[in-house]
């Protein structure tokens, strides 16, 4: 029997983001939170702009914004609860998600992070794919493939953000095949 892939809890994601912040800036979380308190930013956009000027981007920036303005309720839910919520009204797609996640963990250093409406596949450097149930009968895997264009199974994508302009639509487990795995690997390789 194949073991179910582990999706990181919000506490594990927070710890990972703290490591990214400290590795990227050489400063501990408490140093950054003290700096932010001293600046007393009036809004999230103001804080993001200031952090950008300090060279703090991506997940490290998200961490500091959450530390300053609070964590969204969904981040405090378990990964299983978030995923169960995504697939509650589309149970036939849950095995498809599980098959995608099994393919993802075949890649080195991949973290699976549940969000309110999707599961992010994160490599050593950044998110390279997002999996979300789009309809009751289809889930889409948004892919960050900057050098590729739509064609074949690769479709244009909207709403995935972060330069994920392509997607693969999946309706059944059999579609999570070797061709899918190779495309997922290309997205991973393009983002490490």
Kindly report, residue by residue over 152-175, the tens digit of the pLDDT.
999 999 888 768 999 999 999 999
Residue 128's SS3 state is strand
Burial class, 56, CB count within 10 angstroms (exposed 0-12 / middle 13-18 / buried 19+): buried
Residue 1's SS3 state is coil
Q: What is the pLDDT of residues 5-17, one digit of tens each?
A: 777 777 788 888 9
Residue 189: which of 130, 107, 117 has the closest Cα? Answer: 107
Q: What is the pTM of this model?
A: 0.74
Q: Are 113 and 119 in contact (CB under 8 A)?
A: yes
- Give the CA radius of gyration of the chain: 18
- Mean pLDDT to the nearest integer, 18-22: 94
Distance CA 45, CA 64 (A): 12
Distance CA 64, CA 102 (A): 31
Cα 141 to chain center, whole Å? Answer: 11
- Report pLDDT for 100: 98
Distance CA 126, CA 109 (A): 11
Q: What is the pLDDT of residues 41-88, one digit of tens each?
A: 889 999 999 999 999 998 899 999 999 998 877 777 888 899 999 999
Question: Which of 72 and 183 is assigned the larger pLDDT?
Answer: 183
- Report pLDDT for 1: 45
């Amino acid at each position: 029997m194949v073991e179910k892939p582990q999706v990181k809890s919000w506490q594990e994601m927070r710890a990972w983001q703290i490591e990214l912040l400290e590795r990227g800036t050489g400063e501990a979380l408490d140093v950054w939170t003290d700096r932010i308190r001293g600046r007393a930013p009036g809004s999230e956009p103001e804080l993001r702009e200031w952090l950008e000027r300090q060279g703090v981007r991506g997940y490290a920036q998200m961490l500091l914004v959450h530390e300053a303005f609070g964590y969204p309720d969904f981040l405090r839910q378990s990964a299983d609860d978030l995923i169960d919520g995504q697939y509650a009204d589309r149970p036939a797609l849950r095995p498809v998600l599980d098959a995608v996640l099994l393919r993802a963990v075949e890649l080195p250093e991949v973290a699976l992070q549940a969000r309110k409406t999707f599961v992010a596949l994160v490599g050593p450097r950044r998110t390279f794919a997002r999996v979300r149930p789009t309809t009751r009968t289809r889930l889409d895997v948004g892919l960050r493939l900057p050098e590729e264009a739509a064609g074949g199974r690769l479709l244009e994508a909207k709403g995935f953000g972060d330069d994920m302009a392509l997607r693969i639509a999946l309706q059944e487990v059999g579609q999570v095949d070797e061709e899918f795995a190779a495309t997922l690997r290309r997205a991973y390789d393009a983002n490490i």
